[in-house]
Amino acid sequence: MLYKKEDLISYECDGYTMYKGMPRAVVFVKDTEEVSDVVRCLTKEEIPYIARGAGTGLSGGATPLGGEVLISLVKMKRMLRLDLENRKAVVEPGYINLKLTQSISDKGAHCLKYGVTTNHILGLEIVLPSGEIVEIGEGGVPDQPGYDLLGLLTGSEGTLGIVTKVTVKVLKNPEGKKTALAYFDDIDDASQAVSDIIAAGIIPAALEMMDEIAIEGVESAAYPVGHPRDIAGFLLIEVDGIAAGIDDQIEEILAVCKQNNVREVKVAKDEAERSLWWANRKMGFGAMGAMSPDCLVQDGVIPRTRLPEVLAKITEISRKYDLRIANIFHAGDGNLHPLILFDASVPGESERASKAGSECLKVCADVGGSITGEHGVGIEKSAEMRFIFTDEEIAAQTNIRNVFNPEDLLNPGKLFPQPGRCVEVTRRDHEEMHLVP
């Protein structure tokens, strides 16, 4: 257990560094029974607490704004069962996805590849705030009758219970894959190509997009590819599946790019080139560190057909707040990551970045999208929940939380705006949460 101030400092926040708070203590648990014991003890003493994994979340979900105790799951890192015949594995919460992939890749399997997390979870073991240990899903039946508790718990951002075991799907590695880059002079053409690819009924394994500011960042970082520096953006496209159909699929996609005025297309000649392109893309967020002292990453979702107008509005927001905004997208999913560059040491700049981020999410909500695609709501976007839900809908969801977490000791103040607060001044919610004793 950690309790000295100097040991607690690195637990002040997760990957969302705008708001910080000191935890009362950090408790490292080693198994389900220990989690249950710690939870019972904290509940009895009415001490609030938060489950924390690797602390890489980007919305402040594991940030202790109210002096909570952090229950760290990093020492629960075993794979408990691998059942390749039925294509599933049971792991503890600290057993990370990459490790699972690496440990079974020689057996011809791959995990968590298609869709989002919830599509790959088959069962959970959970410690409820009462200390009770329950199992959800995984009765050997894919779709159990009754409410979808598995979906509810998977999307609960640590507000309903602490997950101590996860049964995940294990997918087979595709037989073949091909990766291409398409460079565009006009970002609208790149956006239209994304829309047309999906409309043509082709579903690539990945369809990623980066704009010119993001390209400037990754080309100055660890894995430069030599992307032209005068393009408006590129698409990184990967198709996979049965080897026989791969060439046709990539040709079809590149033909769509050509119809949309692509400047240049190239197909990775070997695995080394493909890996370099992906390493370059994955440097996206980190590379912003070389461009600016601070960066706020947003996570909106929009219908893919609205990409051009949403991008134009993000450019307007960038001008309005006088802050550079780079764009990295999982374009195939309509999942945008505007990266707002700012300098927290300049008075007022953090507030401008926050407001710019909130406005980007409003644009996404206004075109029928959502305020988060994969990073979650946490504290960062709790006020913005009102962009998509009415007060009644938020109250209904809060009632669900109360069923599991009636004392609100588990991850309090996260996910939902505090009742009765105003949405216009979104950061006020955070400032007020800061003041919780």
Contacts to ligand FAD by CB under 6 A: 14-15, 50-58, 61-62, 73, 93, 157-158, 162-163, 285, 374-375, 411
Q: How far lies 328's CA from each of 159, 298, 369, in Å?
A: 29, 10, 17
Nearer to ligand FAD, 125 or 189 (CB): 125
Nearer to ligand FAD, 27 or 257 (CB): 27
What does the alpha-carbon distance between residue 55 and residue 110 come to, in Å, rounded to a whole number?
Answer: 25
Nearest to 409 by CA among 22, 43, 21: 43
Contact 120, 167 (CB under 8 A): no
Q: Six-digit token pair at 283?
A: 């440097």
Contact 90, 167 (CB under 8 A): yes
What does the alpha-carbon distance between residue 332 and residue 71 come to, in Å, rounded to a whole number?
Answer: 36
Nearer to ligand FAD, 129 or 158 (CB): 158
Nearer to ligand FAD, 84 or 116 (CB): 116
Q: Is 364 exposed, middle or buried (0-12, 13-18, 19+ CB in 10 A)?
A: buried
Minimum CB separation of residue 163 from ligand FAD in Å reads 4
Enumerate residues 6+ apart whose C-beta is below 8 A from 395. 419
Minimum CB separation of residue 64 from ligand FAD in Å reads 10
Q: How far lies 186's CA from each of 107, 235, 293, 398, in Å?
A: 43, 12, 29, 44
Minimum CB separation of residue 258 from ligand FAD in Å reads 28
Minimum CB separation of residue 260 from ligand FAD in Å reads 25
Minimum CB separation of residue 340 from ligand FAD in Å reads 15
Nearer to ligand FAD, 183 or 329 (CB): 329
For the chain, helix (H) and strand (E) counts, in that order, are: 13, 17
Minimum CB separation of residue 223 from ligand FAD in Å reads 14
Nearer to ligand FAD, 50 or 190 (CB): 50
Nearer to ligand FAD, 99 or 107 (CB): 99
Nearer to ligand FAD, 63 or 249 (CB): 63
**Torsion-angle region of residue 419: left (phi > 0), alpha (psi -120 to 50) or beta?**
beta
Nearer to ligand FAD, 178 or 375 (CB): 375
Minimum CB separation of residue 54 from ligand FAD in Å reads 3
Nearest to 415 by CA among 98, 76, 159, 55: 159
Closest residue (Cβ) to ligand FAD? 53
What does the alpha-carbon distance between residue 258 and residue 239 come to, in Å, rounded to a whole number?
Answer: 17
Enumerate residues 6+ apart whose C-beta is below 8 A from 204. 197, 237, 238, 239, 249, 253, 332
Nearer to ligand FAD, 62 or 182 (CB): 62
Nearer to ligand FAD, 370 or 411 (CB): 411
Longest CA–CA span in the chain (Å) reads 65
Q: Which residues pair with 234 in a beta bridge?
A: 183, 210
Enumerate residues 6+ apart whose C-beta is below 8 A from 49. 38, 39, 42, 68, 69, 70, 71, 409, 410, 411
Minimum CB separation of residue 239 from ligand FAD in Å reads 19
Minimum CB separation of residue 51 from ligand FAD in Å reads 4
Contact 194, 331 (CB under 8 A): yes
Contact 16, 357 (CB under 8 A): no
What does the alpha-carbon distance between residue 382 and residue 372 come to, in Å, rounded to a whole number?
Answer: 11
Nearest to 92 by CA among 65, 127, 56: 127
Minimum CB separation of residue 185 from ligand FAD in Å reads 27
Nearer to ligand FAD, 95 or 342 (CB): 95
Minimum CB separation of residue 299 from ligand FAD in Å reads 9
DSSP per-residue codes, 358-373: HHHHHHHHHTT-BS-S
Minimum CB separation of residue 420 from ligand FAD in Å reads 23
